[in-house]
Structure 1
């Protein structure tokens, strides 16, 4: 005789609480997430977003309908006044992962960038305008902006726009703290400073995006532009004196990349000598200084600045090898500061999913010349300028000859059932502008 089924087992699946284990396959799990994102309870939406992010990390196959549903509903989660901080952070992460996953198969990632840039830039801008959101939310927005720009930028202008949003935050953090009058007393004064975690994230993300449009071969800076880059290098060099080691590490990595890309070719000699001296000092720094004095961070700082010192002194470049197969027989190898910056950001953002993306995502293969004939691989900057597929796609879209995203909601939970599918972008992402 077969075993008796419990009441729970006899419940219809649609009536059960959201549980990713109920899904029979990846497509079923994505559909379950879309349904759960329309639930009125933020706890359910949090679980759905966490499951969605974990699924997108593994580069699942996506179709237009699911893509639109996921993206639009993430915007609703961000706009909803009842959303928790965790929910909004997860929504930003899911959008970034969605853009990277879309870029593996279509030009839909540019749609994601087009709709999400203003809300993301606004969240980042609020940090240095004195109306600071929670630290974790700003960092989530910064990382999301990097991912959607990396995947969806159609040219340099799209990247420059994101770089400016990040650089404004970095520059404002380098200035003296703002002082606001008001408060409980007539003479009350309050300083607002950018948290070091946010500043470190902004610097490393800025460096990451810069590598996508500048390479050693095309970084011959005109003398007319040298003042801009000299000011940028000076700002980053100033961050080497920051109290937080995480900020110093991010700034050091960015500076090494700038030197490698010839962005310092017109910098005054005395400034470069001062930079080399500061790098040597940080390579041998003693414990105890700074707000982050953990030994692991100190060792990381010493190692990084030791490599930078060797690079500035005699051109020795860093090398890193990352296994990309289960047995460890296949590895991704990088041997430049620019590629190391890219690798560090993408491995941090994707976690265990990086291996899956570098194996199956063409964007990653192009970035790292992985599993392809080097003579046939374009740099990311050239890819973004000259990708014929993307150009044809958007030309067709403008002419109305290409089918847009399928605005079909897969379910009708009460939370959003009263909205027509095509209005989801308006009540979500567009309302965040």
Structure 2
């Protein structure tokens, strides 16, 4: 082939290659552009999906809130029903709702209606219904707080609580709940000392019969219901001591510190324990007022406490002996050395230290009233956060709450490592070669 024709063919081939390369590059550019467009479209689509999911979650949350409020409205209406069974079911539902949620805004405009309903239940109901009504009243005061709303609720029903509590012919179950309700509501909503003293006197009159009159031994109450009533009255009385002024505490020390040790001889383990804790509380309040407080019968008291802290009588249940020994060891240690056993309460991302007998009595009173809902209220209820000096409720987003929780797999790894370390430690102790001769 001539050289010129071969060169022309080569140039044609080169032009064809360049044109095909340009076409390929244009095709690749189009692919990149389409990929970018598809990426942004998918990103915008995912963003719109996320926004839609968030919107749906907000709608679902609002729908759930509306459903809960509708059920609560129905329960409040049912408290006035003619059927005693329906009223009891409604009261139990309100008890569960009030103890597990903070409902101030919802209850604010319905508190008068609910107070009237509870008053009728306390007046005309029988034992179980009266007991539930008193419990719901306690939780209603706790929801309303220490402001004028809570004070209004307490003032309207305080005379009725006192009447039932002091009526020996009333149902023991109703009297037990009224003793607790009187102490809790007075603690939350009493405006001044003039309202506090009558409640203290009323409660003293209930548990006073558990103190011996002759100074030898406490009377034996055969009825378990009476024992529980005296326990509840003494617990409420000791709760109110934590907010008494110094002048009132001095009077109580003179009148009750010689009497309370007589209750340590009671047949009921719970009454003995509550009496021991109340004695420790009185010693703390006395030392807060006077650092060098001296009680002339301290040696005799410590002898009784030591006997209870080391009690091994077989006629008492094993669990009762263990519980009693643990409590009275702490009581004895505090009276002798002035040191209180510290307890740490964790809730959400926070924790609280219970490091005094006054703080312990207050926390356990709210814990008994709220049950498993006490941690929710410690996080969100302004009244409890003010009482325990926790500051305003923390505002946490979902990401912070999720980050604070460990996964199930991490928890499994932690438990496995702890189990292995515990097994090794126990194996070394169980090995005969580790015995010390």
TM-score under structure 1 length normalisation: 0.68
Secondary structure in 1 aligned to 2:259?
Answer: helix
Q: For 1:25, what is the secondary structure of its paired residue?
A: helix
Question: Cα 1:314–1:71, aligned 2, differ >3 Å: closer, same or farther?
Answer: same
Q: How many residues align structurally? A: 320
Residue matched to 2:18: none
Residue 310 of structure 1: how far off its partner (Å)? 1.1
Q: State which of 41, 60, 84 in structure 1 corresponds to 2:103.
A: 60
The Cα of 1:372 is off from its aligned counterpart by: 5.7
Equivalent in the alignment of 2:303: 277
**Among residues 24, 28, 44, which one is paired with 2:86 in the alignment?**
44
Aligned-partner SS, 2:344: strand
Measured in 2, the distance between the counterparts of 1:320 and 1:228 equals: 28
- The structure that is helix-richer by fraction is 2
Q: 2:128 & 2:295 partners in 1: Cα distance?
A: 48
Following the alignment from structure 2 to structure 1, what is the Cα–Cα distance between the partners of residues 91 and 225? 28
Compare CA radii of gyration and give the structure with the larger one. Answer: 2
Shift, 1:138, TM fit = 1.1
**TM-score normalised to structure 2 length:** 0.67
Q: How does 1:6-405 map to 2 (within 5 A)?
A: 24-57=66-99, 58-61=101-104, 62-80=106-124, 83-103=125-145, 106-126=147-167, 131-175=168-212, 195-214=226-245, 219=246, 226=250, 228-262=252-286, 269-289=295-315, 293-325=316-348, 329-371=349-391
- Contact 1:283–1:303 (CA under 8 A) maintained in structure 2: yes
Q: Distance in 1 between matches of 2:251 and 2:192?
A: 24
Does structure 2 retain, via aligned residues, the 8 Å contact 1:287–1:295?
A: no
- 2:388, 2:318 → 1: CA distance? 32
Once residues 288 and 270 of structure 1 are traced to their aligned partners in structure 2, the CA distance between those partners, rounded to angstroms, is 33
- Secondary structure of 1:201's aligned partner: helix
The answer to whether the 8 Å contact 1:150/1:209 transfers is: yes
Which ranges of structure 1 fall in alignment gaps of 5 or more residues? 1-21, 178-190, 374-433
Q: 2:75 & 2:224 partners in 1: Cα distance? A: 38
Bigger RCO of structures 1 and 2 (CA < 8 A, at least 6 apart):
1
2:353 alignment partner, SS class: strand
Partner of 1:12: none
Residues 53, 358 of structure 1: alpha-carbon distance in 2 compared, 3 angstrom cutoff: same
Aligned-pair distance for 1:231? Answer: 2.3
Offset at 1:319?
A: 0.7
